[in-house]
């Protein structure tokens, strides 16, 4: 099932549950897209951080050997694994203070990076990382960003160097030392002779 099918399925379930008066049949809303994204993130988190999430749901800390230990993770009311930390005093949006944690080795993470790269007009590494860090916390993000940009076909085409055409071999007379303008004078004289011959033959 792809991302679009997931959104459509969620709408179908929502329409089945709601009274007929509230049936949605127009274009997909921003809320529906966000809900589908959150659903995908939850699935990926359960696959990649299942053990850590179980520990947190049982009100325990993650294992000391866990890769998430330094992030002080917690599970929010919606069931998403988020970064803890000490940014509560900053006037930042909730999703930036407590980013959603995604694994760097999952295909979904690469798709998120690719989508963000295209949304920001094929952004470079710095812009892409800054944009992603507003929502996601991904270990080894810089390496993954470079990999995604290097595999982008559009960026590769723009970066490609134009091939330089090799210069043809010059005639020997052009590379010999000589006084200025002798060749041009002979050329002009030849032209004069040919014009004169043409004029005489037509008399």
Interface residues with Zn ion (CB under 5 A) are: 122, 152, 154-155
Residue with smaller CB distance to Zn ion, 75 or 152: 152
Q: Quote the least distance from Cβ 34 to Zn ion, whole Å.
A: 24
Q: Quote the least distance from Cβ 153 to Zn ion, whole Å.
A: 8
Residue least distant from Zn ion (Cβ)? 152
Reduced to 3 states, what is the DSSP secondary structure of residue 100? strand
Contact between residue 138 and residue 132 where contact means Cβ atoms under 8 Å apart: yes
Residue with smaller CB distance to Zn ion, 111 or 152: 152
Residue with smaller CB distance to Zn ion, 10 or 122: 122
Tokens read off for 82: 């988020």
Q: Quote the least distance from Cβ 120 to Zn ion, whole Å.
A: 10
Residue with smaller CB distance to Zn ion, 35 or 131: 131
Region for 64 from its dihedrals, namely left if φ exceeds 0, alpha if ψ lies in -120 to 50, beta otherwise = alpha
Report the chain's C-alpha Rg in angstroms: 34
How far apart CA 95 and CA 38 sit, in angstroms, is 12
Q: Quote the least distance from Cβ 109 to Zn ion, whole Å.
A: 17
Count Cα neighbours of 8 within 13 Å in the Cβ-side half-sphere: 5
């Amino acid at each position: 099932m792809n991302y679009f099918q997931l959104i459509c399925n969620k709408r179908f379930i929502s329409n089945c549950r709601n009274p007929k008066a509230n049936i949605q049949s127009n274009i997909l809303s921003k809320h529906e897209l966000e809900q589908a994204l959150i659903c995908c993130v939850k699935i990926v988190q359960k696959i990649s951080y299942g053990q850590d999430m179980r520990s947190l749901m049982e009100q325990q800390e993650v294992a000391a050997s866990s890769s998430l230990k330094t992030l002080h993770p917690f599970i929010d009311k919606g069931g998403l694994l988020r970064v803890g930390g000490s940014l509560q005093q900053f006037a930042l949006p909730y999703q930036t203070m407590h980013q959603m944690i995604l694994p760097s080795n999952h295909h979904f993470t690469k798709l998120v990076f690719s989508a963000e790269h295209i949304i920001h007009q094929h952004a470079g590494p710095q812009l892409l990382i800054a944009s992603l860090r507003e929502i996601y916390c991904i270990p080894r993000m810089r390496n993954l960003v470079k990999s995604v940009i290097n595999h982008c076909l559009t960026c590769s085409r723009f970066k490609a160097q134009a091939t330089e055409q090799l210069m043809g071999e010059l005639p020997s007379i052009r590379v010999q030392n000589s006084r200025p303008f002798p060749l041009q004078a002979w050329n002009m004289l030849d032209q004069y002779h040919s014009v004169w011959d043409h004029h005489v033959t037509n008399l």
